[in-house]
Structure 1
Amino acid sequence: MDLRNVVHDDNDLDEINLIIYGIPRRIYERTEYFHSFDNLTFYQRFRITKATALVMLDITEAQIEHPYDLNHSVAPINQLSIFLRFCATGTHLSCIGDFGGVHFSTVSRIIVRVGRVLATLYNRYIKMPRTQDEINNNHFAFYEKARFPRVIGSIDCTHIKIQSPGGEDAEIFRNRKGYFSINVQAVGNTSLKLMNVVARWPGSTHDATIFNNSRVKQEFENNNFPNSLLLGDSGYFQRPYILTPLLNPTTRAQQLYNESHIRTRNTIERLFGVWKRRFRCWPTAVVYNICNETNEGEPPDPEDMERFLNALQDNEVPHVPHNPPRNNQGAALGNQMRMNLIENYFGNLE
């Protein structure tokens, strides 16, 4: 039997290394950073506050805690710290292992374990509005941005850089900018909260292809969000439920439509900016939405970091390219919807 297949923790690994390779056991020193760090230092290392870390611990502890305390098993709070450190830095596992006082192989298992538990909470933390009251609240919140009616969410895609996966299909992950990526589609609201995420398409995939094969499109086709609209950029095709900006506005009404569209859809661009500033690595969107629900606030820009950290120190909690086929009938209905909105609504705005 290959002893390397029965590794459960660092002590098991050290014993096997001693038997197979004659490598002596290494004693790791672990620090419980939640209590040893003050608020400022904790935020600098993990990119979230202690209050949010406690919320995450509460919802994951039962699933990640080991059923026994043999061989100096890693406590849930330390597992969570290792996972958050990976999210915050995206650095090598050996560096995170040195930081957490565990072997890098243990870091790998912890990241998978904690990430998997958080991923199971997707439907709890990432969801589209369901009730009519929730839909109406979204309409009102978006209307307040720039007087664009009936908007339930803004949609866009962003590229998450990855290493080349290798193999015969590696090039389909190379995007138009020349690097390997996953093309991630997201729908967000005015609170910069994720309502839907699709993260399974290679970087060369067109944005419209991702939408056309997504569940959220089918929900709109089934009229699950009555009298509601998504706002997207020109990477999407016109539909009765998804509106894009005009390429060459000429009339005053068309200009008002474009201005309102851009200002309203800007929420998804801000959402991506906040997400990327908070974490260098994107293992799960659930972590981002937990931060949103606990009022973490937007991570500061580099020029505002000193003021932000000073406030935190004073114990303040700051808040192969593929072009999809066009559906001509759907595009025609979408164009008609857009022109009706421009003529009958934006044409009457002062």
Structure 2
Amino acid sequence: MVLLTLRYLATGSILQVVGDFINVDKATASRVITKVIRSIARLHPQFIKMPSTPQELNNVKQGFFNISRFPRCIGALDCSHIKIISPGGQNPEIFRNRKLFFSFNIQAVCDSTLKVQDIVCRWPGSSHDSTIFKNSRLRARMENREFGEDSILLGDSGYAVKKYLITPLQNPQTRAEHLFNESQIRTRNPIERCFGVIKRRFPVLAIGIRCKHSKSRSHCMVACSVLHNIACMMNEPELEVTAEIEAAIEFANGINLDLGPQWGNGVTGNNIVRFNLINEYFLRLL
């Protein structure tokens, strides 16, 4: 049962082909895969979690700091689209994204080693990244300062800048602002790599999930993240992929570029945190 499920995740083949692997019917393969994927997904509290203890927080911050000297970061935040077949029902078009195929828009946070720390798998493809974050439990936890008063996340320009979510400047002017942008982008890069590595390890996420049951699709995404984290813990090497899978990964990852509002550089409201980082930290590095 486990081998059949791993073959499905690692190939993205149709169920009939996967079932032929152990000489079972398509319906049997579907039941087996659903059962195993749900069992793996239930392990997510053990393997997918934000840092909680002071030691864990310090280790994560140090890992990000070692990339490009960006301070206080506990996670890189972004979204990626996972292709699905038409879900049917009364409102299938809400799953159609900007590239005109059906998908889930998955939000994830990772650390500097590419391990997934938080994942949200319930939003249709038409949802914008900022909407998903605004309605996530992670946002509430960050606002309640569960991870410390100075902890921050890094996101792209599709998100609104917050005291706990730092985005790059749209029009950097000074040397300190350019240095801030360069450091922010490099430090945020692990989440882009994380999505790419997961889709390479589990091409079913790049080629597309063909099951119709919405919960099974969500469980599939969580299960792949659990297995990815285990692979990271075991120092498993990244796998080579075909040109077809590589093209699917790049196509899905490029959907939400520059779709969000363009937030200015003014020193008001939540921008004060970003302004202080630039003038109290990055200016001193010059």
TM-score range, shorter chain: 0.7 to 0.9
Residue 292 of structure 1 pairs with residue 228 of structure 2: no
CA offset digits 1:39-93 (Å, max 9, x no partner): xxxxxxxxxxxxxxxxxxxxxxxxxxxxxxxxxxxxxxxx111000100111111
Q: Contact (CA 8 Å) 2:60, 2:111: kept in 1 or not?
A: yes
2:3 to 65, 81, 105: 81
Residue 342 of structure 1 pairs with residue 265 of structure 2: no
- Aligned pairs for 1:268-287 (under 5 A) are 268-282=191-205, 283=220, 284=223, 285-287=225-227
Q: Contact (CA 8 Å) 2:158, 2:260: kept in 1 or not?
A: no
- Could you say which residue in structure 2 is the equivalent of 1:236? 159
Shift in Å at residue 151 of structure 1?
0.4
- Could you say which residue in structure 2 is the equivalent of 1:55? none
- Separation in 1, partners of 2:242, 2:175: 39
Structure 1: 5+ residue stretches without partners = 1-78, 304-322, 326-330
Report SS of the residue matched to 2:185. Answer: helix
- Aligned pairs for 1:239-318 (under 5 A) are 239-282=162-205, 283=220, 284=223, 285-300=225-240
Relative to the length of structure 1, the TM-score reads: 0.69
Report SS of the residue matched to 1:345. Answer: helix
- Separation in 1, partners of 2:268, 2:45: 34
- Separation in 1, partners of 2:233, 2:239: 14
Shift in Å at residue 257 of structure 1?
0.3
- Separation in 1, partners of 2:98, 2:122: 17
- Could you say which residue in structure 1 is the equivalent of 2:65? 143
Shift in Å at residue 276 of structure 1?
0.8
- Separation in 1, partners of 2:269, 2:30: 50
Report SS of the residue matched to 1:333. Answer: coil
- Separation in 1, partners of 2:189, 2:124: 25
- Could you say which residue in structure 2 is the equivalent of 1:115? 37
- Could you say which residue in structure 2 is the equivalent of 1:23? none
Q: Contact (CA 8 Å) 1:245, 1:261: kept in 2 or not?
A: yes
The residue type paired with residue 44 of structure 2 is Y
- Separation in 1, partners of 2:230, 2:26: 27
CA distance 1:80–1:236, shift in 2 (3 Å): same
Report SS of the residue matched to 2:204. Answer: coil
CA distance 1:218–1:281, shift in 2 (3 Å): same
CA offset digits 1:9-60 (Å, max 9, x no partner): xxxxxxxxxxxxxxxxxxxxxxxxxxxxxxxxxxxxxxxxxxxxxxxxxxxx
User: RCO (CA 8 Å, sep 6+): is it higher in 1 or 2?
Assistant: 2
- Separation in 2, partners of 1:184, 1:234: 17
Shift in Å at residue 301 of structure 1?
5.6
- Separation in 2, partners of 1:336, 1:83: 49
Shift in Å at residue 224 of structure 1?
0.5
- Separation in 1, partners of 2:85, 2:241: 27
- Number of residue pairs aligned between Structure 1 and Structure 2: 251
Report SS of the residue matched to 1:152. Answer: strand
- Could you say which residue in structure 1 is the equivalent of 2:88? 166
CA distance 1:169–1:332, shift in 2 (3 Å): farther
Residue 153 of structure 1 pairs with residue 93 of structure 2: no
Q: Contact (CA 8 Å) 1:243, 1:334: kept in 2 or not?
A: no
Point out 4+ residue stretches in structure 1 off by more than 6 angstroms.
Answer: none
- Aligned pairs for 1:63-82 (under 5 A) are 79-82=1-4
Moved more, 288-297 or 177-186: 288-297
Shift in Å at residue 300 of structure 1?
3.3
Shift in Å at residue 251 of structure 1?
0.5
1:225 to 121, 124, 147: 147
- Separation in 2, partners of 1:339, 1:244: 11
Structure 2: 5+ residue stretches without partners = 206-219, 244-258, 262-266
- Separation in 2, partners of 1:135, 1:259: 23
The residue type paired with residue 293 of structure 1 is M
Residue 177 of structure 1 pairs with residue 99 of structure 2: yes
Q: Which has more radius of gyration? A: 1
- Separation in 2, partners of 1:85, 1:290: 17
Moved more, 198-207 or 90-99: 90-99
- Separation in 2, partners of 1:324, 1:267: 21
Q: Contact (CA 8 Å) 1:209, 1:324: kept in 2 or not?
A: no
Report SS of the residue matched to 1:82. Answer: helix
